[in-house]
Amino acid sequence: MSTVPYVLRRLAACSSIMPALLLSTLSPSATAADAATTTVATATAPVAAPVAAKTAWQETRHGTVVTDDYRWLQKKSDPAVIDYLNAENAYTAAVTAPIQPLADKVYAEIKGRMQEVDLSVPARQGNFYYYTRVEAGKQYPIHCRRPIGKGGAYDAQAPEEVLLDQNQLAEGQKFFAVRAFSISPNEQLLAYTTDTTGFRQYELHVKDLKTGKLLTDSMPRVTSLAWASDNATLMLAQEDATTKRSDRVFRLALGGTQQQVYHEPVEQFAINVGRTHDKQFFVLTSGSTDTTEVLLLPTNKPEGSFQPVLKREKGHRYVVEHRDGQLYILTNKEAKNFRIVSAPLSDPQARHWKTLVPHNKDAVIQSIDVFQGYLVVMEKARALNRARIHDFAQKNWKTVQFDDAVYLASAAGTPEFSATQFRMSYQSPVTPPTVIDVNMQDGKRTVLKQQEIVGGFDGSRYTTQRLWVKARDGVQVPLWIVYKKGVKLDGSAPLLLYSYGSYGISTEASFAISRISLLERGVIYAQAHIRGGTDMGEAWHEDGMLMKKKNTFNDFIDSADYLVREKWTSPNRLIIQGGSAGGLLMGAVVNMRPELFHAVHAAVPFVDVMNTMMDASLPLTTGEYLEWGDPNQKAAYDYMLSYSPYDNIARRNYPAMLVTTGLNDSQVMYWEPAKYVAKLRAYKTDGNPLLLKTNMGAGHGGASGRYNAIAENAFNMAWMLSQWGIDS
């Protein structure tokens, strides 16, 4: 599947108080005054909150002296930093001890609805059907395959071959994740990458599937990979050890040494390597927020050099697929929401382009899949997804869309270039994820599997609908909502409002098993499609970035005001939630309208905008200039400073807040939320809870094992329920 490219983006109870001695040694310059404490009442006795030491740090920016009292928290190697994070964790554990039984109950509910022994829908690739399965009590999936059966069908009785058991690989690790997983063309080798810290730096491994042994070939910090047709060569993209920008491609002949074949020098660009769907070409994509360049190399000539398809042009974003000597190009040239053109491989310049799918101002093209006989286009219009299928032989189109008011329909992976069935996933807030095969010739749909909810799930017991909010500048912002039938809509209902609003990433109307525990307790759940995503097209993203970023925050506040005005909830019943760039959203809106929200869960929040964006040595920073602005430019600096959550904390009342992060986060460093909480605790004038919870063995995505992830989610949900006064 070819998609419009973006660069990599930023998403036990304790009954005793941390000893005063430890608090006083958080930093060499700590004083008794710095170690003063605040208290929060619990069901048993007051518990003292850690108060971070202040240190003198200054820097002159655009002629103004900037101070940062908590800069010392950025030094991860300092034992005092770890002591402080542990103190915050101990404080959070003590304060939330009374809600732990509720967290345990919610955990049991989620786990009880989950099919603990399960199998993904097998997908054919070559002479095998590939799938993953999970076993009861085990944290991670097991990757397997079976040989194809008679007539190419899946044969459940065929012998199973276990390719990779993540549970075995994860033994002894606090964190474990697999990213790349690629079978060689002769189906005898497996290349995969693993991360054991949560920092999202993945190491290459190559496994001989005949012997089960690992080859000696390895490489650190691999971000993407692709096989050559000789079954003996890998093309590997690698990220920089410090900046985490994928900037180099290496050719690795198995058993030999890697050779660099490409370097991307421009700091705003990151690279990815893959193959066309027909496996004829390596595809090297170098992309920034607003520009891409695609280079090709035949997979049967891995010793050759990558050649650009089109000359790099500022503002031109495109992706490429290949079929029978023709390139199919998804391009935004003269088409803000993208169009699809074809061109001969021998000369793909614009003068040879033939339009296959014209630009549509009301629908953005998200991805294309090219098959031997068909082209599948995934589009989004008015915050809803659809698929359009073109039959090359018949020269006709079929549209696959659904009738629900809100839903998520997406491509689910169809590996075979010769396929005649296109696999899709469909779900809605009241429909569990459903795998569907669509016959690309006649459009007939076959449901292969729907996620089973143990104990049963009746979607008719809930109501979901689309709402439209008129923002302050007159723009109509879509929002979806789901709740259990019978909930009083008089302003008294507890409501959780979530959003993201950055990088062109849309808010999707998905299903979540965990959400049932909220709905069954009378909570209304809502998501706002605020500007910054591509929910309503590319212009929706552009209107929520750079010098228009505040539209994102205004849309969210206007959505919350609407929900209060229309009596879906009230400020004392409204909790908001967002993570990563959505955590920036949380920090910005509570500075702007703290009285509008009762409580906030900010996950891995990007809240220390200026200190991060002014430090080009940090991971991902320079690549973000095209999304947020380059703070080395005075106008951009002033605009970003005006909304940066950390820089706009003031002496005022704030909602109750739970801030969660991971010590090994590579996207939003742990110190952003840590500094934010430290400063907020020093400034806020209310007695509302302010909690920081750091997973000391994970990164941006939280816990890696499925049971551990459920436990984290259950705790967050229990905290929110307690803020609504729901204790069972």
**Active site (catalytic) residues:** 580, 665, 700
- In whole angstroms, what is the distance from residue 215 CA to residue 466 CA? 53
Partnered with residue 65 across adjacent β-strands are 60
Per DSSP, the residues of 642-658 read TT-TGGG--SS---EEE
Tokens 């950055």 sit on residue: 502
Burial of 475 (0-12, 13-18, 19+ CB in 10 A): middle
On whether the CB atoms of residues 254 and 206 are closer than 8 A, the answer is yes
On whether the CB atoms of residues 509 and 429 are closer than 8 A, the answer is yes
Q: CA dihedral defined by 350, 354, 356, 362, rounded to 10 degrees? A: 50
In whole angstroms, how far apart are CA 78 and each of 91, 318, 357? 20, 45, 56
Q: In this structure, how many other beta carbons lie within 10 angstroms of the beta carbon of residue 453?
A: 17
DSSP assignment letter at 195: E
In whole angstroms, how far apart are CA 442 and each of 13, 386, 394, 574? 59, 17, 11, 47
In whole angstroms, how far apart are CA 677 and each of 59, 194, 286, 661, 718? 22, 32, 37, 11, 21
On whether the CB atoms of residues 605 and 673 are closer than 8 A, the answer is yes
Q: Which amino acid is at 728?
A: S
In whole angstroms, how far apart are CA 511 and each of 39, 134, 290, 437? 39, 20, 31, 20
DSSP assignment letter at 504: B
- Residues 6 or more apart whose CB falls under 8 angstroms from that of 403 comprise none
3-state secondary structure of 628: helix
Q: Which amino acid is at 499?
A: S
- In whole angstroms, what is the distance from residue 79 CA to residue 188 CA? 47
Both structure tokens of 481: 């909502």
Q: How many CA atoms lie within 13 A of 132 on its CB side?
A: 13
Partnered with residue 705 across adjacent β-strands are none
Both structure tokens of 208: 């001989």
- Residues 6 or more apart whose CB falls under 8 angstroms from that of 411 comprise 1, 367, 369, 376, 378, 387, 422, 423, 424, 425
- In whole angstroms, what is the distance from residue 362 CA to residue 475 CA? 15
DSSP assignment letter at 546: G
In whole angstroms, how far apart are CA 487 and each of 153, 522, 569? 47, 6, 11
Partnered with residue 249 across adjacent β-strands are 237, 262
Q: In this structure, how many other beta carbons lie within 10 angstroms of the beta carbon of residue 243?
A: 18
3-state secondary structure of 572: helix
On whether the CB atoms of residues 51 and 34 are closer than 8 A, the answer is yes
The angle at the Cα of 582, spanning 709 to 264, to the nearest 5 degrees, equals: 95
- In whole angstroms, what is the distance from residue 589 CA to residue 131 CA? 43
- Residues 6 or more apart whose CB falls under 8 angstroms from that of 248 comprise 237, 238, 260, 262, 263, 264, 271
DSSP strand pairing (47-49 vs 38-40): antiparallel
